[in-house]
């Protein structure tokens, strides 16, 4: 199982304005540096939690259909766009959306075949099944960042603050860490692991 980012988020989970307010920075002299810290902190938090924070599109690659459900990584799942597979002749086919059900409520989300159809039989090859999906927190009437849970945003801001203040990372015991311990505590309840990096 592997994933590939197809369409990245349009914005970061924390805006430059929010980060600068947290850092108490008023000038624009370090905007480029702070923006880099935002990107790094968001990537670190998304990687550590296994979540997508802002609407983004991914492809999930499988070597075959599972016996039952397909667990979709990077919750929260917004939608499954398509499920494609290579048939026995190596020709790409699309599973009809009426042939499966999608659960966007659970984390991780998952997809199960319609009882009448079941999953088709793909070519016995690497990456012969591909699921395209959208994931992330959605906000319909405000900036996308407002939909991200406040404790996740706080953890990102703490990581940005730590990077800005120390610039070299923090030593905890004998370990160099990029996520401050308080941030890790804030994020722990949001962590979803599916055996993927």
What are the residues whose beta carbons fall under 8 Å from the beta carbon of 122, sequence distance 6 or more? 64, 65, 85, 86, 87, 128, 129
Is 8 a residue whose pLDDT tops 60? yes
Tens digits of residue pLDDT in 144-177? 999 999 999 999 999 999 888 876 655 555 444 5
Which pLDDT value is given to residue 124? 95
Neighbouring CB atoms inside 10 A of 119's CB total 21
DSSP 86: E
Is 195 a residue whose pLDDT tops 90? no
Query: Using alpha carbons only, how large is the chain's radius of gyration in Å?
Result: 20
Tens digits of residue pLDDT in 95-144? 999 999 999 999 999 999 998 878 999 999 999 999 999 999 998 778 89
Tens digits of residue pLDDT in 45-74? 999 999 999 999 999 999 999 988 999 999
Q: Which residue has the higher pLDDT, 181 or 87?
A: 87
CA–CA separation, 12 vs 26, rounded Å?
Answer: 20
Residue 58, phi then psi, degrees to nearest 5: -130, 160
- pLDDT average, residue stretch 22-32: 95
Neighbouring CB atoms inside 10 A of 183's CB total 26
Q: Where in the chain is the domain with CATH 1.10.3230.30?
A: 2-53+140-190
Which pLDDT value is given to residue 76? 96
Pick the CATH number of 2-53+140-190 from 1.10.3230.30, 3.40.190.10, 3.40.50.11690, 2.40.110.10: 1.10.3230.30
> For the purposes of burial, counting CB atoms within 10 Å of the CB of 129, is it exposed (0-12), middle (13-18) or buried (19 or more)?
buried
What is the percent of the chain where pLDDT is above 70?
90
């Amino acid at each position: 199982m592997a994933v590939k980012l197809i369409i990245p988020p349009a914005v970061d989970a924390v805006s430059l304005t929010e980060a600068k307010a947290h850092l108490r920075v008023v000038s624009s002299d370090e905007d480029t540096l702070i923006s880099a810290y935002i990107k790094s902190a968001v990537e670190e938090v998304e990687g550590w939690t296994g979540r997508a924070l802002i609407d983004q599109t991914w492809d999930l690659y499988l070597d075959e259909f599972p016996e039952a459900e397909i667990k979709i990584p990077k919750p929260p799942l917004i939608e499954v766009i398509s499920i494609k597979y290579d048939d026995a002749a190596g020709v790409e086919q699309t599973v009809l959306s009426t042939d499966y059900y999608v659960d966007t409520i659970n984390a991780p989300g998952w997809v199960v075949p319609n009882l009448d159809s079941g999953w088709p039989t793909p070519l016995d090859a690497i990456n012969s099944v591909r699921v395209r999906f959208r994931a992330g927190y959605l906000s319909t009437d405000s900036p996308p960042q407002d939909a991200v849970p406040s404790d996740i945003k706080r953890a990102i801001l703490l990581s940005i603050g730590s990077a800005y203040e120390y610039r070299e990372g923090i030593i905890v015991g004998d370990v160099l860490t990029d996520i401050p311990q308080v941030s890790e505590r804030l994020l722990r309840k949001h962590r979803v692991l599916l055996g993927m990096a």
